[in-house]
Amino acid sequence: MCGILAVLGCSDDSQAKRVRVLELSRRLKHRGPDWSGLHQHGDCYLAHQRLAIIDPASGDQPLFNEDKSVVVTVNGEIYNHEELRKSLPNHKFRTGSDCDVIAHLYEEYGEDFVDMLDGIFSFVLLDTRDNSFIVARDAIGVTSLYIGWGLDGSVWISSEMKGLNDDCEHFECFPPGHLYSSKERGFRRWYNPPWFSEAIPSVPYDPLALRHAFEKAVIKRLMTDVPFGVLLSGGLDSSLVASITARYLAGTKAAKQWGAKLHSFCVGLEGSPDLKAAKEVADYIGTVHHEFHFTVQDGIDAIEDVIYHVETYDVTTIRASTPMFLMSRKIKSLGVKMVISGEGSDEIFGGYLYFHKAPNKEEFHEETCRKIKALHQYDCLRANKSTSAWGLEARVPFLDKEFISVAMSIDPEYKMIKQEEGRIEKWVLRRAFDDEEKPYLPKHILYRQKEQFSDGVGYSWIDGLKAHAAKHVTDKMMLNATRIFPHNTPTTKEAYYYRMIFERFFPQNSARLTVPGGASIACSTAKAVEWDASWSSNLDPSGRAALGVHASAYDNQAAAVKNIEPEKIIPKFEGNPLGVAILG
């Protein structure tokens, strides 16, 4: 991931302003340590911090069209850039960068070309002929982006909040799947898939169609001119990504450059569930596996850095970002610059354990839609910024535009969790890759119960965080929480602790408004908390809070459950090798 910063129409073309823009751009240097660039046209500035993945030798930014009248600064990867180049035979490209197509597409199609891009991206394009500009962000918000406004009438764009928070009167998250046009002085949504309306789809489940769509999504992400690997937690999603990558790597350009042996990476506390499962998967698919250990104290010591880089006070995100942040540093130290990861599957397929309680297929589907729309504030934020903190890029094939279209068109009746039929969470995905002749994964991995990343790295990680927060946040402090933090008031000492750190780095009101809030159980939206009356008194984002669903549900809460009839406990059933008992 690169870092972009643009200041547009600031009515100041002085050297002092240029120096200030350079100073702010340097706050993003961790995202792109390979090169820095700044283009100034009058009172418009486009800055770039480059992480070179494609065409490291000549792809420095900003990028231009033939006569340099169109200027672009981009953070992203355009997977179909070669096809797009072929569709533009009358254009001369200055570099081999995948992002070089953007300026030329604008020349051909004006502002209506964004949907032609297959990839992840945030970009600012300046047309110097009339000083107009457009800004766009990818469909789901895999790349991070913020927009701000100055008192002088300027518009600011930055990959991270820290690039603009000190100089804008107001700023906010740039909405995913949207384009901002200076001519219209407003946003419009360029990404309009059928699922966005939350209408209930009716396409029958086709396992092979789903399998082929996901394989295609993984394969296109093997586009790289630098060393890469896969993040492997040993759960279903990352294991499928790793298995498909290992299966199709040979013969690719990446394999010719860097060898056909895939490297995999895992992080966890000593003896954690993820470490054991990841090692087994790595041995099965034949990767060169790298296992990183951290202690609870290592994680606690990194919390301030994590909050500064990830720019949130959301409890779930910080819990999961910390091990990913630590692992990314280790991965980068090995010379790797890009990793493929498994984010997005749980949102698309209803993989979180609270989906066991979905009352019907309509509510199941609507919740998946809500979860995908919010990804840019949670898992995409984590995956993007935890890795970018160390100049590492994360690619997420589950959030491929074409794959989402296929997966979200399936009748949600097939996605519903039905224990009596042997269908656990994400059954449609598991079934699609349950190949007896050429297995992708061992059966018990293919049917391993969902572990949230912050749980899977070791249960004592979350317990340690809570204990640490309890030492630093007193009961007296919690009494005044509503007065001190009226917006998204922290309700636990852990949340209060994170909020204090966040406010120290980002004290502006606009900053606190960029972080989502509301009730949640095991990562649910506030709406899904209504599915079970008991959840409203047990609001914890850990998967273990899904009482009666997770095999390691909190012991003290499990002990508190009363009046459960023995026949309501569903025994081990065929098709679930874990034999997880589910409370009805």
Q: How many CB atoms within 10 Å of residue 312? A: 25
Closest CA to 195 of 379, 359, 399, 372: 372
Strands 132-137 and 569-570 turn out to be unpaired
Q: How many CB atoms within 10 Å of residue 299? A: 22
Q: What are phi and psi of 496, to 5 degrees?
A: -65, -45
- DSSP helix/strand/coil, 423: strand
Closest CA to 369 of 348, 341, 397: 348
Closest CA to 1 of 141, 149, 188, 104: 141
Closest CA to 87 of 115, 112, 108: 108
Alpha carbon distance 336, 219 (integer Å): 18
Alpha carbon distance 231, 387 (integer Å): 11
DSSP string, 115-178: GG--EEEEEEEEETTTTEEEEEE-SS--S--EEEE-TTS-EEEESSGGGTTTT-SEEEEPPTTE
84 touches 116 (CB < 8 A): yes
Cα angle: 305, vertex 309, 313; to 5 degrees? 85
Alpha carbon distance 417, 426 (integer Å): 8
Q: Is residue 206 within a helix (H) or strand (E), and if so which, with residue range? A: none
Q: How many CB atoms within 10 Å of residue 422? A: 12
Alpha carbon distance 360, 531 (integer Å): 10
Q: How many CB atoms within 10 Å of residue 189? A: 12
Annotation says 99 is catalytic: no
- In this structure, the dihedral spanned by the alpha carbons of residues 415, 416, 421 and 427, taken in order and rounded to 10 degrees, is 30
Question: Can you point out the beta strands (E) in 197-355?
Answer: 228-231, 263-268, 288-293, 338-340
Q: Is residue 184 within a helix (H) or strand (E), and if so which, with residue range? A: none
Contacts of 562 (CB under 8 A, 6+ apart): none
* Residue in this structure with the two tokens 């839609």, named with its chain if needed: 369
6 touches 46 (CB < 8 A): yes
41 touches 52 (CB < 8 A): no
* Whole-number Cα distances in Å, 546 to 51, 549, 558, 573: 40, 6, 10, 20
Q: Is residue 566 within a helix (H) or strand (E), and if so which, with residue range? A: none
Tell me the catalytic residues.
2
